[in-house]
Every structure is written in structure tokens, then in C-alpha cells.
């Protein structure tokens, strides 16, 4: 089973950093349209994890995805990493985001992905909060080390039933591969941009379960280096010359070929949304994680 997912945040982040008059919105719209067209052509449904604030500021974007028959999941309210929030704050953030998205599309939001995969061992209580907010499926677990999140102790690389006092969460962890003793998430983000198509294709063939994840920002032309002020607002770390340079290189690596590579992948494989994948899994016999 291969799941296709997108994180939709670029419109929100652009307006957060540069205000509402940006030309970049048009570029994002065009890229989104081209993605939706390829999905139509392949008769493929995907899950789009969307920032809650976008339901208020850019409802037309959220509705456009929903109207084309895809699942809308929640990607937090304002892209604040869960591991920087208290339990009450995570509850408030999730509830607000789910409410805004549900009002926008007129149907229930059941899937969730934390910004920067920020559910780990220390804040695994977040699963219980997601269940309280009506979430049934989650795709936030990055079962390896990650810059801003990651859950190296998660243990499973396949769909896992997370049992919490508030109900079960069906977890779809990110697919990880080992390369030269390093764990790499080849099916999305920077590693997807870096690796050639044949490598991603070969790694996908090795397993029965893959989840691919893309951002529009992975595909659009290179962005300018962030100002010091914006860097600190966004990354919440010191805007040293080296930090800014490193992140700028990381976010722009391999962008030129990323769109055509992604389209080739969507055409080469049969993909499903998270909700469709749910129906294909024998949850009774899936691995379990019990949260007290």
C-alpha cells in the first residue's frame, strides 16, 4: 500500500512572513492546480494536511482541494511545533484548527499531521489530545531522528494502533530507509529532492507500506534567503550566518527536478489516501502502542 500525502501551509507561511500582497500566492495556486490535474489524470485520491488558519484566510484553496475529491486533514492551526506547547495549548490549537477546517469544507476532519513531525516520546500524550479532538488517523510519527521532531523510539515502521484513554488513533508512520548507516526518509521532503527517481522507486519496492509526503515549497522555484528577523520568527533558533546559509541550502536543494520526479512517481505507482488505506489494513493484527 502506498499513501500519498501533501502538507499545505505555503500560503499561510508566506502571509505570516511577508503579508498578504505577495505574488507568490499565484505561484502556489498554479502548482496546486497542476498537482490536482495529475491526480485526476491518475484517478488518485490523496490526503492534504492543511493549516487551520488557511481555512479562514485562504478558504478557496482548502475548498478547491476538497471539491476535487481529496481528503482534508489537519496540519495544526498555525504550524506551531507540538513539542513546544503544553497539553492545554495542543488541545486548543487542534480544536481550533479542526473546527475551522470542518466549517470550511462542511465535513468531518479525521486525519492529522503535526508540523515538523513534532510528536515524539516526550510528548506522546499528544495522541490522547488528538483522539479527544475527534481525530482517528495520524501521520505525524517520523520514526528516526529529525531536526525539529522525530520519534526514534517508536519502534514500528508500519501502521500501528495507538491506544489512548480517549480512544484509538490509527498511526501511519513515515517510511524510513537505512543508507550508509543513516536513516533517511526518501519518500518526501529534502531527501526526496536529493535522491534520483530510480533510488526512490527501488526503496518503495522493498516494502509493502510506503507513505509519500510533499510540500508545494519542495517543488516551487528557489526562495530568497530569509531575513534574520523572519528566520528567528519561523525557526525559533539564532539567525547566525551559518544557520541561515545551511537552512537555505537545505530547503532549495534539488528543487529544479522535484516536480517532474514527483509526477513520475504518481504515474508509476498506485497511491491511496489515508482514509482509503484505513480500509485496507487489518487493525486487529497491527502492532499496538499503549499510551497511559
The reply to whether 7 sits near Zn ion by the rule CB under 5 A is yes
Q: Based on CB atoms, which residue is closest to Zn ion, 7 or 14?
A: 7
Q: Closest distance between Zn ion and the C-beta of residue 114, in Å?
A: 9
The three cell numbers of residue 274 are 489515508
Query: Which residue lies nearest Zn ion, judged by its C-beta?
Result: 7
Window contacting Zn ion (CB under 5 A); options: 4-12, 101-109, 164-172, 228-236: 4-12
Q: How far is CA 2 from CA 142, 198, 206, 278, in A?
A: 16, 17, 12, 12
Window contacting Zn ion (CB under 5 A); options: 8-16, 133-141, 191-199, 221-229: 8-16
Window contacting Zn ion (CB under 5 A); options: 9-17, 54-62, 188-196, 203-211: 9-17
Window contacting Zn ion (CB under 5 A); options: 3-11, 100-108, 119-127, 130-138: 3-11
Q: Based on CB atoms, which residue is closest to Zn ion, 115 or 149?
A: 115
Q: Closest distance between Zn ion and the C-beta of residue 174, in Å?
A: 13
- Among positions 100-119, residues that touch Zn ion (CB under 5 A) are 115
Q: Closest distance between Zn ion and the C-beta of residue 221, in Å?
A: 19
Pick the binder of Zn ion from 3, 4, 5, 9 (CB under 5 A): 9
Q: Based on CB atoms, which residue is closest to Zn ion, 164 or 192?
A: 192
User: What residues contact 3, with CB distance under 8 A and at least 6 apart?
Assistant: 47, 139, 172, 210, 211, 212, 271, 272, 273, 274, 277
Q: Based on CB atoms, which residue is closest to Zn ion, 7 or 138?
A: 7
Q: Closest distance between Zn ion and the C-beta of residue 79, in Å?
A: 6
Give the x/- contact pattern for Zn ion in 67-106, rule: CB under 5 A: ----------------------------------------
The three cell numbers of residue 113 are 499531521
Window contacting Zn ion (CB under 5 A); options: 6-14, 27-35, 157-165, 276-284: 6-14
Q: Based on CB atoms, which residue is closest to Zn ion, 9 or 218?
A: 9
Window contacting Zn ion (CB under 5 A); options: 7-15, 84-92, 160-168, 275-283: 7-15
Q: Closest distance between Zn ion and the C-beta of residue 255, in Å?
A: 17
Residue 63 sits at the vertex; the CA angle it makes with 234 and 168, to the nearest 5 degrees, is 70
Q: Closest distance between Zn ion and the C-beta of residue 270, in Å?
A: 26
The contact set with Zn ion (CB under 5 A) reads: 7, 9, 115
Amino acid at each position: 500500500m502506498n499513501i500519498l500525502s501533501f502538507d499545505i501551509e505555503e500560503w499561510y507561511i508566506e502571509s505570516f512572513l511577508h503579508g498578504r500582497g505577495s505574488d507568490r500566492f499565484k505561484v502556489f495556486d498554479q502548482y496546486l492546480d497542476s498537482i490536482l490535474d495529475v491526480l485526476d489524470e491518475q484517478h488518485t485520491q490523496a490526503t492534504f494536511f492543511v493549516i487551520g488558519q488557511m481555512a479562514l484566510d485562504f478558504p478557496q484553496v482548502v475548498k478547491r482541494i476538497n471539491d476535487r475529491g481529496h481528503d482534508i486533514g489537519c496540519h495544526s492551526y498555525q504550524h506551531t511545533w507540538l513539542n513546544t506547547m503544553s497539553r492545554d495549548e495542543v488541545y486548543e490549537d487542534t480544536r481550533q484548527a479542526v473546527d475551522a477546517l470542518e466549517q470550511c469544507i462542511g465535513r468531518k476532519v479525521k486525519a492529522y499531521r503535526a508540523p515538523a513531525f513534532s510528536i515524539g516520546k516526550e510528548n506522546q500524550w499528544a495522541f490522547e489530545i488528538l483522539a479527544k479532538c475527534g481525530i482517528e488517523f495520524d501521520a505525524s510519527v517520523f520514526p528516526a531522528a529529525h531536526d525539529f521532531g522525530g520519534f526514534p523510539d517508536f519502534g514500528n515502521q508500519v501502521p500501528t494502533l495507538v491506544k489512548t484513554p480517549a480512544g484509538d488513533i490509527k498511526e501511519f508512520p513515515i517510511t524510513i530507509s537505512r543508507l550508509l548507516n543513516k536513516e533517511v526518509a526518501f519518500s518526501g521532503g529534502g531527501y526526496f529532492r536529493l535522491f534520483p527517481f530510480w533510488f526512490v522507486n527501488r526503496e518503495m519496492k522493498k516494502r509493502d507500506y510506503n507513505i509519500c509526503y510533499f510540500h508545494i515549497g519542495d517543488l516551487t522555484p528557489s526562495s530568497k534567503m530569509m531575513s534574520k528577523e523572519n528566520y528567528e520568527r519561523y525557526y525559533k533558533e539564532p539567525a547566525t550566518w551559518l544557520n541561515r546559509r545551511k537552512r537555505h541550502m537545505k530547503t532549495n536543494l534539488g528543487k529544479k527536478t522535484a516536480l517532474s520526479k514527483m509526477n513520475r512517481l504518481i504515474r508509476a505507482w498506485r497511491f491511496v489516501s489515508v482514509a482509503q488505506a484505513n480500509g485496507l489494513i487489518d487493525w486487529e493484527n497491527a502492532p499496538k502502542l499503549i499510551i497511559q
